[in-house]
Amino acid sequence: MTSALELSGISKSFDGFRAIAAADLEVRSGEVHALLGENGAGKSSLMNIVAGLYAPDEGSIRVQGRPVRIAGPLDARRLGIGMVHQHYKLVKSFSALENILLANPKGGFARGRAAIDTALARLADRIGFTVDLTKPVGALSIAEQQRVEILKMLVGGARLLILDEPTAVLTDMEAERLLALLRHLASEGAAVILVTHKLGDVMRHADRLTVMRNGKTIATASPGTLNAGELTKLVVGTTTTECAVPAQNVGGPVLSLTGVSSGGNGRRETLSDVTMRICSGEIYGLAGVGGNGQTELAEILMGVVTTASGRITLEDAVDITDATPKTRRARGLAVIPADRHSYGLAGELSIADNYAIGDVYSGKYGGVLRMKSSAAQTAAGAAVAAHDVQGVRSLAHKAALLSGGNAQKLVIAREFAGAPRVILAHSPSRGLDVRAAAAVHARLRAARDGGAGILLISEDLDEILLLADRIGVMSSGRLVAEFAAPADRQAVGEAMVSHG
């Protein structure tokens, strides 16, 4: 195999912090190469250099054996490099097709559209992705948005493909289909870099892997020479294991939905007559293929989308159907959103402000107009330490500077601070490494054991099966099946795909 990409001695610093330290990486044409490491290890920063978003401070880059300088994304594109980022680069007011056209303007809009229509038809047969290309991206689910990104890259004809956590929001079947596609593209000569925390994906689908830690590349190996325990130890420095621990003290309902539907007023119905209850002391896992109403349900529970019909109550029959997000929080509802940057954090505010904002109205840090910054700083510092939020050089730094996994830890630290009675956790470990995901799972179990009721919405069936005491399945906006743990994986999977 020829070398598709060679990175030698790459270093990069941000505000005096060295994110990448003399990293090396070699990826060959015709292989799937996994890039592993804990959150903040430098993986995404290194790939952003290859994609032209960052310029390296030191080091050299070769593409197909030729030394190159990648001054921006257009240079990367001309070199046949395409990247699907963990946080998508889409214009939410544009349709899916318009986003694909925007990224592939060659030949003018009309000619580009015709060419892309043809390419999309071919890709549909190979990938099996179903996306409404006429729908605004902002109205698509997280999983559907990811599919648009993947289509956008493949239509562009990239031969060096970088995918950052591509299976994080896909079901087993979708993930296997995508990974099989990547293997097929590699067999045709493409080089594929798979940035992932899913060790099973690596063991089954990667030809080689490289591990990063603290901004350095520490090892390159073949997955066949390592078992899962050895690979985990290589990534995190120690082994991390999890096991399902069933609920011991399940109480009465703390969150109930009765006949909840969405849509109306000319809008398409995405939820239809959903009825469920979540009890204190249990984790209720909601599984389903992306785009079947899970995101709309989460937005309704958060209070950012209204119901067309139905009723939502908390314990003691408190009706919150039309309540504001502020009222829901005051009643003990905490939210870990799937899109942490849109709904969980204000990126331009400081880390301390993002932590303290959850208690602004409680008076804990003073009044709304005169916050006690010292109290907020102290509380945020303690939370950052307790939840192992890494990369925090100053609590005054913007939250946008945190890596995805560490941003998620900050959200969880804030949401769990008030000992909530009900927790909505939507894809809580998406994009987290092995150790961080285990820590999130442990905190969810601890909250459950402390009496909270938890609604876990996840498209990672492994996560659902590992954590849930009861499992519901959504399909076409309806709750189509429920299972008690331990649930049969095949039965849950069949319920996910056999309704509609």
Q: Average pLDDT per run of 10 along the chain, which is 500 residues long? A: 93 85 96 87 92 95 96 92 87 90 67 68 70 86 80 84 81 78 89 88 92 91 86 69 69 95 65 94 89 88 91 92 91 88 84 81 64 78 85 85 82 86 91 79 92 92 90 90 88 69
Same domain, 114 and 263: no
Integer Cα distance of 139 and 137 in angstroms: 5
Same domain, 182 and 69: yes
The DSSP symbol for 371 reads B
pLDDT at 266: 47
Encode burial over 341-359: b for 16+ CB neighbours within 10 A, e otherwise.
eebbbeeeebbbbbbbbbb
pTM for this structure? 0.63
pLDDT at 361: 65
Same domain, 281 and 383: yes
Same domain, 331 and 364: yes
Same domain, 268 and 148: no
When divided into structural domains, the chain yields a total of 2
Same domain, 219 and 275: no
Residue range of the domain that includes 308: 253-497
Pairing of strands 453-457, 282-287: parallel
- Helix, strand, coil content of the chain in percent (nearest 5): 40, 25, 35
Same domain, 27 and 122: yes
Smallest CA-to-CA distance from 157 within 185, 184, 181, 129 is with: 185
Same domain, 205 and 300: no
Same domain, 229 and 278: no
Same domain, 31 and 160: yes
Same domain, 181 and 294: no
pLDDT at 148: 87
Residue 440's contacts (CB-CB under 8 Å, 6 or more residues apart) are 408, 409, 412, 428, 429, 432
Residue 383's contacts (CB-CB under 8 Å, 6 or more residues apart) are 355, 389, 410, 413, 414, 417
- 124: domain CATH number? 3.40.50.300
Q: How many CB atoms lie within 10 A of CB 335?
A: 23
Last residue of a domain, one of 236, 271, 306: 236
Same domain, 378 and 493: yes
pLDDT at 265: 47
Last residue of a domain, one of 171, 203, 236: 236
